[in-house]
Structure 1
Amino acid sequence: MNHTEPASTIPATNKEWTEVIEPKTNLLDLRLGDVWRYRDLVMMFVRRDFVSTYKQTILGPLWFFIQPLLTTITFIIVFGQVARLSTDGLPQVVFYLAGVTVWSYFAATLTTVSTVFVANAAIFGKVYFPRLTMPVSIVISNMVRFLIQFGLFLVIWLFYVVRGGTTIQPNWVIALTPVLLIIMGLMSLGLGMIFSALTTKYRDLAMLLTFGIQLLMYATPVIYPLSSITGEIKGISYKTIILANPMSAIVETFRYGFLGSGAFNWSYLGYSAAFTVAILIIGTIIFNKVEKSFTDTV
């Protein structure tokens, strides 16, 4: 008579685990290797973002083009025609569309990442996967949206370049566009992780952030060129205050490369890059600390 050995007597050394889940001990550890192994999940989240955003809409993906165009037209009417703000002699549609294209990516990514814990608490509480996959997927999905809207900008920009008769003078700084995109993505990721940790306890911060981003746009040369800023307050020039915003150098560099008008300076761009690295480190520490216990708070 054969007897089967109880499972409890099987030596532990014979058990092979395919996945070991344990708490992080290093707050700076993003476990990017785990994110890479779950890359299929990241792409699934990216696809989900597209489907959920435009599902049951009549125009669907056309909103990628309608939103920046409507915003640009509004800026032309309000700031270009009524307020008569300077565009450094550039065609208003290209000037405003350049700023809208860059700013929209940063604002949309930061806003969405900031609510990643609260918005996905049900998923996080049911199954394990690297939590970083969610904010990374948001950065990627918004990057795809940026590329689509960037294509719209290129079409209008090429129209004015080929037609001639304008002050548009493209230059080599165009090659820095991928660098600008990476800086914006990482900056919004770092800031978003900080706010996502805070919104698990203080839900009001999500609404405050949305309002704050709208105000921050006016502190960024999106609707006006940096060259038009004059004056000072208590010995500090307004231009210095605007440049303290790390997004200012990115918008100005983007415009300078494609339009030939703007403020390009390596020190300005270096400041934006340094700020991004610092905020990404801080965001990583806070994100890793909060993700262990956020389900108890949410």
Structure 2
Amino acid sequence: MSQAQASNYTLVIEPKTRLLDLNLKEVWRYRDLLFLFVRRDFVAVYKQTIFGPLWFFIQPILTTIMFMVVFGGIAKMSTDGLPQAVFYLAGIVSWNYFADALKATSETFVANASIFGKVYFPRVITPLSIVVSKLLTFGVQFTLFLLVFFYYFFFTDTNLEPNVTLFLIPFLILITAGLALGIGLIITALTTKYRDFRFLITFAIQLGMYATPIIYPLSEIENNRIRMVVLANPMSSIIETFRYAFTGTGNFSWTSLVYSFGVMLVFLIVGTIIFNKVQKTFMDTV
């Protein structure tokens, strides 16, 4: 079909041969559906619950208190001289966005099989909507972190030194979103054939939290091998930089950030290729 003929139609069905094609033009055409999915994902999380949207605050608050009691109080783990609430909450807020987006994205095909089998729309809209909706949740919890940070900054004698690294926060969020999306696309594609990955991803997220400097500072790791393992985790530099930006304490390294960005790109490319390949035939196996 020539371009002149194709221009007379609102929808042209053509074969997809490029595995690395996100078809962003088509995604833009279905942007209303994307916003609808974002609203659905954001609103439906705590619908028909007693506390409703308050759970966005309750969950990180309870987790922070538990960390303060167990790791800060009982285990006496260092927080690099920072207030425990600020130290733990900085890691929890960042990790929660990654973990929640990854887990939800990794269930894209299985959770939406009934929709995918009835109507056509760019399948990539679903994982994109999850990443965006979880970003809204991150915004709510980030506000909580700011309230705690401002309390210690203005009303206590704690030495907190926010710096120009704060301008990297959007970049850190972008890397986190990209990592969650890329890894999630790979897992959801594998889950169509091997359902074990649904259980594996939950365990991996829990294990990954302990391989990330959330409950301990990177400076406390003296064993070089363990330190290399933690630094190999692309989320480590993101959380350390996030914490450093607000407090002036922590490990900030451009090399580590570039590494995290590179890992994100690799996962996004591989995830896109696998996702585009599987979406053509997943209804036969899901």
Count of residue pairs brought into register by the alignment: 282
Q: Under a length normalisation based on structure 1, what TM-score does the superposition of the two structures give?
A: 0.92
Q: Give the drift of 1:143.
A: 0.3
CA separation of 1:15 and 1:287: change in aligned 2, threshold 3 A = closer
Contact 1:23-1:292 at 8 Å conserved across structures = no
Moved segments of 4+, more than 6 Å: none
Q: Give the drift of 1:159.
A: 0.8
CA separation of 1:88 and 1:28: change in aligned 2, threshold 3 A = same
User: What 5-or-longer segments of structure 1 have no aligned partner?
Assistant: 1-12
Q: Give the drift of 1:16.
A: 4.2
Deviation track 1:60-94 (CA, whole Å, cap 9, x = no partner) reads: 11100001001111111111001111000100011
Residue in 1 aligned with 2:47? 55
Residue 99 (structure 1) aligned to one of 67, 91, 98: 91
Q: Find the residue that maps to 2:45 and give its secondary structure.
A: helix
Q: Give the drift of 1:58.
A: 1.1
User: What 5-or-longer segments of structure 2 have no aligned partner?
Assistant: none
Q: Find the residue that maps to 1:267 and give its secondary structure.
A: helix
Deviation track 1:123-150 (CA, whole Å, cap 9, x = no partner) reads: 0000000001000000000000001100
Residue 24 (structure 1) aligned to one of 8, 16, 40: 16
Residue in 1 aligned with 2:216? 224
Q: Under a length normalisation based on structure 2, what TM-score does the superposition of the two structures give?
A: 0.96
Larger radius of gyration: 1
Matches of residues 9-158 of structure 1 in structure 2 within 5 Å?
A: 16-158=8-150
Q: Give the drift of 1:164.
A: 3.7
Partner AA of 1:297 in structure 2: T
Q: Give the drift of 1:22.
A: 2.9
Matches of residues 253-292 of structure 1 in structure 2 within 5 Å?
A: 253-292=241-280
Contact 1:168-1:259 at 8 Å conserved across structures = yes
Aligned equivalents of 2:151 and 2:164: distance in 1? 19
Aligned equivalents of 2:31 and 2:98: distance in 1? 23
Aligned equivalents of 1:15 and 1:262: distance in 2? 56
Aligned equivalents of 1:184 and 1:15: distance in 2? 39
Q: Give the drift of 1:14.
A: 11
Aligned equivalents of 2:207 and 2:178: distance in 1? 21
Percentage identity across paired residues of the two chains: 59
Partner AA of 1:200 in structure 2: T
CA separation of 1:82 and 1:14: change in aligned 2, threshold 3 A = closer
Partner AA of 1:263 in structure 2: N
Aligned equivalents of 1:222 and 1:239: distance in 2? 14
Aligned equivalents of 2:46 and 2:14: distance in 1? 37
Contact 2:186-2:274 at 8 Å conserved across structures = yes
Residue 245 (structure 1) aligned to one of 228, 233, 239: 233
CA separation of 1:19 and 1:269: change in aligned 2, threshold 3 A = same
Contact 2:22-2:124 at 8 Å conserved across structures = yes
Deviation track 1:216-265 (CA, whole Å, cap 9, x = no partner) reads: 10000011000000124xxxx32111100000000000000011111001
Contact 2:42-2:137 at 8 Å conserved across structures = no
